[in-house]
Amino acid sequence: MATIRLGDTAPDFTAQTTQGTLQFHEWLGASWGVLFSHPADFTPVCTTELGTVANYHPEFTKRNAKVIALSVDGIDSHHEWIKDINETQNTTVDFPIIADESKEIALLYDMMHPNASEKATVRSVFVIGPDKKVKLTLTYPASTGRNFDELLRVIDSLQLTANYAVATPANWKDGENVVITPAVPDDEIATRFPKGYDRVKPYLRMTPQPNK
């Protein structure tokens, strides 16, 4: 079981899901991907999380991002649980949930942390780019529900910074000013960032978001 680090190729796998059998890399295609695990079906925090993802699905789609969940429970359990999620969260779960009863995928992605639980996966999140490289990893304890607004914010940042020589500052939100990376010399700023910039310090140069 290897630790997955940023920049690693996300391990490929074939899995049984609530939407049929899929091969992960093939399913991702040219899209971004969000793979997230939950400790077990029919658990309260996970129910709110999957309901939130279902309600946010249009936001992920707008960003060309596919979402897929995983737990070590089986397909029949997943389908029964989806009924509860749809009912209690006033939504329709329309993304696949992986059945990983063998824990093969959970181990492949280092989602099993024995000091937390020997039987259940932790709340892992992997954001994966169209190049199949891991762009973000997050691990939450079982007692803390995830912030999916933050995941959308991170995807916005990743997609922006993949195409422009900028980085996003603390608490940045889409549409706000960004940082020009140190790799861009001062004499190129006017050409590359025609909206202008604010030189706060030689190493801290702010500019309006270039794709807005």
Token pair listed for 22: 């899929």
pLDDT tens digits, one per residue of 84-126: 999 999 999 999 999 998 888 888 888 865 444 555 556 899 9
Q: Helix, strand, or coil here: 198?
A: strand
Block residue for tokens 């024995």: 114
Question: Average pLDDT, stretch 43-55?
Answer: 95
Helices and strands of the chain, counted as H and E runs:
6, 11
Contact 35, 1 (CB under 8 A): no
Burial class (CB in 10 A: 0-12, 13-18, 19+), 189: middle
Residue 83 clears pLDDT 90, i.e. is over it: yes
pLDDT tens digits, one per residue of 189-208: 999 999 999 999 999 999 99
Catalytic residue among 4, 35, 46, 53: 46
- Domains 14-146 and 164-207 belong to one CATH topology: no
Domain ranges of the chain: 14-146, 164-207
Burial class (CB in 10 A: 0-12, 13-18, 19+), 36: buried
Q: Supply the pLDDT for residue 115.
A: 47
| Average pLDDT of every residue of the chain | 92
Q: Which of 13, 34, 14, 4 is nearest to 130 (CA)?
A: 34
Q: What ranges make up the beta strands (E) of 25-162? A: 32-37, 65-71, 97-99, 123-128, 134-140
Specify whether 112 is catalytic: no
- Return the CATH fold of 164-207: Antioxidant, Horf6; Chain A, domain 2 (3.30.1020)
Q: Which of 177, 125, 175 is nearest to 147 (CA)?
A: 125
Measured in residues, the chain has a length of 212
pLDDT tens digits, one per residue of 132-166: 999 999 988 878 899 999 999 999 999 999 999 99
Is the domain defined by 14-146 classed in CATH 3.40.30.10?
yes
Contact 39, 46 (CB under 8 A): yes
